[in-house]
Amino acid sequence: MTKPVLPYGFWPSDWTAEKAAGASRDFAELRAGHGGLFWIEYDPADARCTLWFWCDGTGARCLTPPGVSLRSRIYEYGGGAFCLTDSGVAYVDERDQQIYHQALEEGAEPTVVTYQPDCRYGDLVFDARHAAVLAVEEKRGNQSVEHRLVSISLANGQRRVLAEGADFYASPTLDVAGQRLAWIQWQRPEQPWTATSLWVAERNAEGSCHKPHCLAGLQGEESVQQPRFAADGKLYCLSDLNGWWQPWREEGDGLVPVDDSAECDHAPAPWQLGTVSYLPIGEGALLLTRMLQGHGLLFEQCSRNGERALATDFSRCRQLAADAAHFYCIAASPERTSAVLAIDRRDGQCRVLAGGERLLPSGEISRPQSFSFATGDTETAHGFLYLPLNAGYTAPEGERPPLVVFIHGGPTSACYPVFDPRIQYWTQRGIAVADINYRGSSGFGRAYRQRLCGQWGVLDVEDARAAVAELGRRGLIDPSRTFIRGSSAGGYTALNALVADAGFRGGASLYGVSDPLALRRVTHKFEADYLDWLIGDPEVDAERYDQRTPLAHAERIRVPVIFFQGGLDAVVLPEQTESMVAALREHGVKVEYRLYPEERHGFRQAHRLADALKRECRFYQGLLVDESADCFKSGKQ
């Protein structure tokens, strides 16, 4: 049967914005114990994060009472929101950022552990020896924010300071006996992906620390993350001293690289606490992820038996856990939503415990195509291309599809080749998507990540332009019909690309930065020095800031832009976005603006995610309609 012919960009689809938004369910923070597995599940239907417990034979059940949500806001990005205790779980309540304890019995009610309304907590770890929870504490005063490592008794909430004096702390971890404590710390103006140090201390019978000493990172030339003690007492970590975040282990008074470590990153940039990208699993073996060509693959590595690839049907594995029978991870693939996996340690067989739905037929899913492209003078950047695919329609012969370039946030973050319901929303309608890992993205080594130092607003824009040129050269897209969009830092890149007249027909900024100096004045402590690293010193490099401030050059933008903003956003304030909207309108540029009063920095409610997706799609279609007015029909959205 002959397919109906419609122009690219206007194909009707049953994959609605509501379905795409509802498919954004995700998982975080696996912990094995109490005879099963625990995880946090985020549901966009009510924007709650709930705790689930799975036990072989009985399945999974939700432990979180109605109306409660688990989420840490420490460092604004949170993480490490719960840990297992000997009798249940300790967790951070999203509402008040305090620590609560909950038994595992059906219907058990949480009890409050901390009473510090001026404090937030994250990176929780259970100390069985002292019946306490270790945590990173963030104390917020009128003029200052202080961070330290603390121990909090589950019995009476008594608090003991374990380490203080550094600007930031992360990843407290105990050896099996509870006698050694390791952690990560760093000082301003560094970020956790530029320079951190690994510290170790002995603990006495009362739980206090003594003899703290730095084991790695003292020279400020490496980023160390995720310390872990093996069962034999050896300390491991990931260090990028040799150019990649690779596993190192304790040897004598220092660290040595683990034999046979692959030359690749084994973790993403540590934006959040509580990340688990590798695990010592006994006798020198490791369970670990590797970032290879933008994928996050899972391996079991053993010096005696070589290595074994696991969960090979999945393209991104993260947040690892293990017990005697299984390895566990959160995994995603180009065809499935995120899933919680149990992997049999003997034969490697995978079982999906939650998620992993196939929401579109195989023939309707646009799969990512890896591509690399020349950029700058002699460099290479990377991305994933998703071509239009809709089994019900085809385009006129000879027509090439329009393209939306996705710019990830961070900007020291990354995109991965996994099922993204938003991307499928575009490809179902006949619009190609290029998801770009521009220079500065994580997952490609320290040198690639560090390229963005002082170059934000330049290299990322250059790479977006180069990606379009490469795909146009290959004849895969129509380079005259392209759009660029991004959220937060990605919105900044999108706006700078439009200022630079990089050839895009229009763009979208979702709570994007339009005035970096305004952002610098109000941003939180974790990122207080980040803009100085990304652009430069505001006084010394004032001209550079002026050149890279979209708001200062609104008159250079000649194409339409759509903006989305959360009314409660404390990172990019609504006033910043509204100033950009007003400046463009003053210069006669077509602008659309949508404010969601109850959303923050990153939209979470499903109905608002759907509304934004529909509005953005209609916006792009409106810019294409001049060529295809007779074909523009109100298809399903």
pLDDT band, residue 635 (cuts 50/70/90): very low
Q: Please report whether residue 576 resides in a domain.
A: yes
pLDDT of residue 306: 82
Q: Please report whether residue 422 resides in a domain.
A: yes
The pLDDT > 70 percentage for the chain reads 98
> Tens digits of per-residue pLDDT, 435-447?
999 999 999 999 9
Q: Please report whether residue 566 resides in a domain.
A: yes
Q: Please report whether residue 565 resides in a domain.
A: yes
Mean pLDDT of 202-227: 92
> Tens digits of per-residue pLDDT, 8-65?
999 999 999 999 999 989 999 999 999 999 999 999 888 899 999 999 888 999 999 9
> Tens digits of per-residue pLDDT, 238-268?
999 999 999 999 998 899 999 878 999 999 9
CA distance 318 to 419: 15
pLDDT band, residue 394 (cuts 50/70/90): very high
pLDDT band, residue 219 (cuts 50/70/90): confident
Average pLDDT, the chain: 95
pLDDT band, residue 633 (cuts 50/70/90): very low
CA angle 423, 509, 471 (to 5 degrees): 50
Contacts of 79 (CB under 8 A, 6+ apart): 29, 72, 122, 123, 272, 273, 274, 275
Mean pLDDT of 497-518: 96
Residue 630 has pLDDT above 50, yes or no: no
pLDDT of residue 272: 96
> Tens digits of per-residue pLDDT, 415-439?
999 999 999 999 999 999 999 999 9
Residue 202 has pLDDT above 80, yes or no: yes
Mean pLDDT of 311-330: 97
pLDDT band, residue 626 (cuts 50/70/90): low
pLDDT of residue 45: 87
Q: Note down the domain range covering 472.
A: 370-391+406-625
pLDDT of residue 304: 74
* CATH number of the domain residue 445 falls in: 3.40.50.1820
How far CA 27 is from CA of 110, 311, 341, 604, in Å, comes to: 22, 17, 11, 14
Residue 498 has pLDDT above 90, yes or no: yes
CA distance 212 to 135: 17
pLDDT band, residue 631 (cuts 50/70/90): very low
Q: Please report whether residue 562 resides in a domain.
A: yes
Residue 221 has pLDDT above 90, yes or no: no
Contacts of 495 (CB under 8 A, 6+ apart): 507, 509, 512, 513, 514, 550, 557, 561, 580
pLDDT of residue 468: 98
pLDDT of residue 634: 42
In 469-613, which ranges are E strands? 482-487, 506-510, 561-566, 591-596
Contacts of 330 (CB under 8 A, 6+ apart): 27, 28, 30, 39, 317, 318, 319, 338, 339, 340, 341
Q: Please report whether residue 379 resides in a domain.
A: yes
Tell me how many domains the chain contains. 1
> Tens digits of per-residue pLDDT, 139-189?
998 889 999 999 999 999 999 999 999 999 999 999 999 999 999 999 999
pLDDT of residue 114: 97
pLDDT band, residue 576 (cuts 50/70/90): very high
Mean pLDDT of 395-407: 97
pLDDT of residue 379: 97
pTM of the model: 0.95
Q: Please report whether residue 490 resides in a domain.
A: yes
Residue 624 has pLDDT above 90, yes or no: yes
pLDDT band, residue 450 (cuts 50/70/90): very high
Mean pLDDT of 294-303: 93
Does residue 554 contact residue 588 with C-beta atoms inside 8 Å?
no
pLDDT of residue 1: 67
The pLDDT > 90 percentage for the chain reads 89
Residue 506 has pLDDT above 50, yes or no: yes
Scan for tokens 């012919």, then name that residue: 5
CA distance 127 to 86: 9
Q: Please report whether residue 345 resides in a domain.
A: no
Residue 636 has pLDDT above 80, yes or no: no
Residue 627 has pLDDT above 70, yes or no: no
